[in-house]
Structure 1
Amino acid sequence: MNNYTENYIQTDEFPQQYIRNKENTVEGYPKLQKLMDLKEQQVVTHSTKAYGCRMNVDKMTPYLKKWLAEDGLNFDVVMIGCLSENQFLYPVLRSLPIDKLISKPGFLFIWASSTKINELSRYLNEEIVTKKFRRSEELIFIPVDKDSCFYPGMANGTDESLLDKMQWHCWMCITGTVRRATDGHLIHCNVDTDLILENETPISSTDSENTFESQTQTQKDSNSKHSSIFKKNNNCVPSEIYKIAENFSTATRRLHIIPGRTGLNMPVRLRKGWVIMSPDVMLNNFKPKEYIKETEQLLNLPEDPEIEKLRPKSPVQKPKYKNSAH
């Protein structure tokens, strides 16, 4: 038996608490560290300003259809869901015009807890979805322990199993044609792993400060009685989840849809380079025409020679030649 598994049974301490490089997964690998730093700097430099679209769940689909019909607006990266159990995942997925909302090639990330994974699988197995999207990768996020704000308590509420279902799942799907060996201007593969571990320090502390700086002084004053509460809490979306999408796709048009309320204890903070649609997003400043004007000059991040030198690449297959008969 694995020692950490036995230790969990005896002490109720999760094995991931003993992983030493949770805060910096590339510790001891200077080239990977430099690659991560360069990627982060590039994304920040070429990101749009942070946009929020405050919208009740039942209004999301009509508004998205309005963006498509009136503004011709679509995105290259769409993320749906966050690390909250209170999400109307399946009905929202069924109603969203996802195939029209995402450009080709485009990338779809859908997050769900263990209790929602059957709903997610049911949706992805529907014929109308399989014709337009293909599953590429499954990503996993694991909270550090039961005290984490990302611990999916509802997944274990009625389960008498000895083991806890604490992971969050994400299916990454692709529409259109993209090849990892030849389309380096569109995707950067193998920069991150498919397993994300929560840091013991607040995951989104840096992003939280950036979020507050992006709000107007008037909004800060009007929400002053809540600001101290917000600063003490995490984002309902760990920054690592955003970074996975940012590191993989070079596209600059990114949309995040959160189909459910998260409440004051799990605020929906803004992030540069993303349009975040949620009933509880902290700032409501999205204007389609302004966004289109801001993104039309740079749809993909420019190629960086240093990043190209450092990032992992898939080998280009050599053409096969048939031996001629003599």
Structure 2
Amino acid sequence: MVSPFTQQGPKGDRSSRGRGRPNGRDSQRIGVPVPLMPPPSFGALTLPPGQMQHMGPNIPHSPGPPLLPGVFMPPFPGPMVWPGAGGVDVNMLSVPPNLHIPPPVAGEHRFTPSMGAGPIHNVHLNQMGPGMGTPTNMSGLGFNQMSTQNREMTHDKPSGGWVPHRHGAPIRKAPSRGEQNDYSQNFVDTGMRPQNFIRELDLTSVAEDYPKLRELIQRKDEIVTNAASPPMYFKCDLRQHVLSPEFFGTKFDVILVDPPWEEYVHRAPGITDHIEYWNAEEIMNLKIEAIADTPSFLFLWVGDGVGLEQGRQCLKKWGFRRCEDVCWVKTNKKNASSGLRHDSRTLLQHSKEHCLMGIKGTVRRSTDGHVIHANIDTDIIIAEEPTDGSTKKPDDMYRIIEHFALGKRRLELFGEDHNIRPGWLTLGKDLSYSNFNKEAYNKNFADSDGKVWQGGGGRNPPPGAPHLIVTTPEIEGLRPKSPPPKN
């Protein structure tokens, strides 16, 4: 019998390289044969001559006389698996030379009633089928039969019978490959997206185990809140309203655009039919380039389909180059449905949306730390999808923008009432009211002479410009930074 973990050469085979002993998983491999050996045959052996001494309390523990030729010695060290109920590890020991074996007597048991059945001598080798190694009229373990062990416990994997759904749904057939760890199959059965099971998504839980990150986020939120201007909004139809710096009295550092793409209408037929969508050409004709300062940043929601390519064309037309792609992974914990979405315009089940980020001008992380704070947030947002077919985006997008860009002049286009936010100017047709005043708005960013900084000519704003949020030494000591230039 050769151990499956025998080393080959000085390094051993590749399956056991780098470890001196097998771990617990090696014994659970699927399809690994469990070595079973038949009981030894005593036919060719004889008992030692003479009367054998009975086992008694007077037998000393010291080594006895040399073993006689009739004593069986196991040829392999260590435990051996004998056929039995589930396989039993048995250490075969030498037979003492003076052990008395009583002869069989008719009508009496050879062994005591407490002993189990003896070894199976009728072992069939080279037998085909799942029960090889056992007599044809007997079921059980055989010689070198394949083990059916699995990495999963028996109670972890549902049977093939009918079981009640754990979410309280009607009785149904258990998933073929297991509901507990097969999230794709669970999505097909219940409509619950795999991302629904990601835990600790809120910002407090994410930063709970990282004290420095938690302190950094708290300090960033504090300076953003203190420097935010009162929320302003203007109700207008962007098809007729022309975007110009003369209307606003300034240009903007950050522009967030959430246009009504055509794919929004087809996303939930019957619910989103009332949405008035824009085609790509109409969106591209917005005069974003006229109101974007240098440097500035654009965040454009593009959906999850053809808007990805059309959004890149918009960025290029408006004078921005794409630098990031923020992805919103949408959960449906409150609106899961077992029916899959069948859309002739898609090939896969869509459960995400993209927001392209563009930059105008040149900003260096090593020298422009008063303009941007990079690498504070990730480019993934995991948040619940609205249940009413709304195109509302998660509020985490505002947090990412405000943590990154230190410019206070922020504009959002195609906004609604729920988008009104301190520090932002919101424009949209679906707003209920308007309170925008150009003079009052620009006072938040003007210097002592009443002038608002305007970039251009390849120059970035200096530290301490009135339209920038002033950072603190504590934040500078906590936030990720690029190494300063050597020269």
Q: TM-score range by the shorter chain?
A: 0.7 to 0.9
CA contact (8 A) 1:270 1:283 kept: no
Q: Name 2:446's counterpart in structure 1.
A: 296
**CA 1:160/1:96 → structure 2, altered by over 3 Å: closer, same or farther?**
closer
Provide the C-alpha distance between the structure 2 equivalents of 1:234 and 1:303, rounded to a whole number of angstroms: 36
Give the 3-state SS of the residue equivalent to 2:425 in structure 1. Answer: strand
Unaligned runs of 5+ in 1: 150-154, 203-231, 320-326
Q: Name 1:26's counterpart in structure 2.
A: 207
Q: Name 1:311's counterpart in structure 2.
A: 479
Q: Name 1:5's counterpart in structure 2.
A: 184
Provide the C-alpha distance between the structure 2 equivalents of 1:270 and 1:199, rounded to a whole number of angstroms: 20
- Aligned counterpart in structure 1 of residue 292 of structure 2, from 97, 102, 123: 102
**CA 1:71/1:50 → structure 2, altered by over 3 Å: closer, same or farther?**
closer
How much has 1:147 moved relative to structure 2? 4.8
TM-score normalized with structure 1 length: 0.73
- Residue type matched to 1:73 in 2? T
- Aligned counterpart in structure 2 of residue 122 of structure 1, from 309, 313, 324: 313
**CA 1:88/1:82 → structure 2, altered by over 3 Å: closer, same or farther?**
closer
**CA 1:70/1:12 → structure 2, altered by over 3 Å: closer, same or farther?**
closer
Alignment of 1:58-97 (within 5 A): 58-60=239-241, 62=242, 64-65=243-244, 68-69=245-246, 72-81=249-258, 85=264, 86=275, 87-88=277-278, 90-97=280-287
Q: Name the structure with the higher helix share.
A: 1
Q: Name 2:321's counterpart in structure 1.
A: 134
**CA 1:82/1:236 → structure 2, altered by over 3 Å: closer, same or farther?**
farther
Provide the C-alpha distance between the structure 1 equivalents of 2:291 and 2:360, rounded to a whole number of angstroms: 11
Question: Pairwise CA RMSD of aligned residues?
Answer: 3.0
Does the alignment pair 1:158 with 2:344? yes
**CA 1:40/1:257 → structure 2, altered by over 3 Å: closer, same or farther?**
same
Provide the C-alpha distance between the structure 1 equivalents of 2:477 and 2:196, rounded to a whole number of angstroms: 34
Does the alignment pair 1:277 with 2:445? no
- Residue type matched to 1:35 in 2? L
Give the 3-state SS of the residue equivalent to 2:378 in structure 1. Answer: coil
**CA 1:54/1:17 → structure 2, altered by over 3 Å: closer, same or farther?**
same
Give the 3-state SS of the residue equivalent to 1:103 in structure 2. Answer: strand
CA contact (8 A) 2:324 2:356 kept: yes
How much has 1:167 moved relative to structure 2? 1.1
- Residue type matched to 2:237 in 1? N
CA contact (8 A) 1:253 1:299 kept: yes
Provide the C-alpha distance between the structure 2 equivalents of 1:237 and 1:11, rounded to a whole number of angstroms: 25
CA contact (8 A) 1:22 1:199 kept: no
Provide the C-alpha distance between the structure 1 equivalents of 2:188 and 2:429, rounded to a whole number of angstroms: 40
Which stretch has the larger CA shift, 81-90 or 28-37? Answer: 81-90
Give the 3-state SS of the residue equivalent to 2:418 in structure 1. Answer: coil
Q: Name 2:150's counterpart in structure 1.
A: none
**CA 1:6/1:83 → structure 2, altered by over 3 Å: closer, same or farther?**
farther
CA contact (8 A) 1:47 1:273 kept: yes
Which stretch has the larger CA shift, 43-52 or 109-118? Answer: 109-118
Provide the C-alpha distance between the structure 1 equivalents of 2:234 and 2:254, rounded to a whole number of angstroms: 16
**CA 1:82/1:36 → structure 2, altered by over 3 Å: closer, same or farther?**
farther
- Residue type matched to 1:74 in 2? K
Provide the C-alpha distance between the structure 1 equivalents of 2:260 and 2:377, rounded to a whole number of angstroms: 19
Structure with greater Cα Rg: 2
Provide the C-alpha distance between the structure 2 equivalents of 1:89 and 1:35, rounded to a whole number of angstroms: 41
How much has 1:123 moved relative to structure 2? 2.6
**Misfit runs of 4+, over 4 Å:** 146-149, 232-235
How much has 1:271 moved relative to structure 2? 0.1
Give the 3-state SS of the residue equivalent to 2:250 in structure 1. Answer: coil
CA contact (8 A) 2:370 2:471 kept: yes
How much has 1:317 moved relative to structure 2? 4.2
**CA 1:93/1:316 → structure 2, altered by over 3 Å: closer, same or farther?**
farther
Provide the C-alpha distance between the structure 2 equivalents of 1:303 and 1:134, rounded to a whole number of angstroms: 27
Alignment of 1:158-237 (within 5 A): 158-159=344-345, 161=347, 163-198=348-383, 236-237=392-393
How much has 1:191 moved relative to structure 2? 0.6
Provide the C-alpha distance between the structure 1 equivalents of 2:330 and 2:224, rounded to a whole number of angstroms: 26
How much has 1:70 moved relative to structure 2? 5.5
Provide the C-alpha distance between the structure 2 equivalents of 1:102 and 1:159, rounded to a whole number of angstroms: 34
Instruction: Please list the CA deviations of residues 165-196 of structure 1 after superposition, one character each: whole Å capped at 9, or x if unmatched.
Output: 12111111111110012211000001100000
Give the 3-state SS of the residue equivalent to 2:443 in structure 1. Answer: helix
TM-score normalized with structure 2 length: 0.50
Provide the C-alpha distance between the structure 2 equivalents of 1:146 and 1:157, rounded to a whole number of angstroms: 22
Alignment of 1:248-267 (within 5 A): 248-258=404-414, 267=417
CA contact (8 A) 2:235 2:433 kept: yes
Unaligned runs of 5+ in 2: 1-176, 265-274, 448-465
Q: Name 1:213's counterpart in structure 2.
A: none
Q: Which has the higher contact order (CA 8 A, sep 6+)?
A: 1
Provide the C-alpha distance between the structure 2 equivalents of 1:255 and 1:29, rounded to a whole number of angstroms: 33
- Aligned counterpart in structure 1 of residue 398 of structure 2, from 231, 242, 245: 242
